[in-house]
Homo-oligomer: A and B are copies of this chain.
């Protein structure tokens, strides 16, 4: 399904894998400050923070999958089937639709702390963008350089969880995902030690054995454990090249290979359509696609951020080789 990650070296990086069996004509979309954001049930934002991210654009409106604003705040929506529960409009609260949620947050706020305070008052209302684009069941990871949270609208209401792991996948609900990590607390990046019996001589026959027990299938709970382990133990230099390399390696640890996850029918497979990594300090949005492993970038600051028109770049999907001879 999907994996979102927040990671900081010298700069802060935010991105995700989008895992699906089809593509919606995603583009890298830069929404400048004066693009008029209308909202169905709450006041419009005629001027707001500029945003860069991947979106499907419908009738000129950027339906963002994940994005970052010019102040360093990132946000991504990830699939949350059977658990996401959107509500009827609730008087006395700020009613935001799920498809508006990313622009509403990234347009207004600079930090996770501000978002969390504002969410006390928010209802995610059950209103679709259009017949063609009904609501997806989603939950969100929102992160800045210092803090990550998970936001879930479930039967019991809107829940905001601290996310010290900087990782989000899909089901189950985040409290259960977090609880399951307890069963992995013994995993280590160091060689295993013998705690079984001092009367047995064991053979550390391979490097990496300290993490035996870490799951490797592509279900959302297993990807969560694997991505948290990789992300929490990641070591990277501070340079842009080292940082984004490491970020894409973290995402690569839970990427989905064509053929490994059947979805309905014999020849439909979920794959990692794209992987993204935005430097939230510089506003450069990087991505790779399933078939193009070269990192492509879009720099939001190279656009006119005071304009009112969304600028978008189609994803480069063909393999971009470089021949040495």
Residues of chain A at the chain B interface (Cβ within 8 Å): 1, 28, 82, 164-165, 170-172, 176, 179-197, 199-200, 202-223, 225-226, 228-230, 232-236, 241-242, 244-246, 248-250, 252-253, 255-263, 267, 269-270, 286, 288, 290-299, 302-303, 313, 316, 318-325
Contact = CB atoms under 8 A, between A and B. Distances in A.
B222 A218 contact: no
13 contacts: A179-B203, A188-B196, A212-B213, A216-B216, A241-B291, A245-B293, A246-B258, A253-B257, A294-B294, A294-B295, A294-B321, A295-B320, A298-B324
Q: How many copies does the complex hold?
A: 4
Nearest to A288: B293
B212 A319 contact: no
B208 A217 contact: yes
Given A1-B206, A205-B171, A208-B270, A241 B318 contact: yes
Contacts of A220: 205-208
A319 B241 contact: yes
Nearest to A211: B217
A212 B241 contact: no
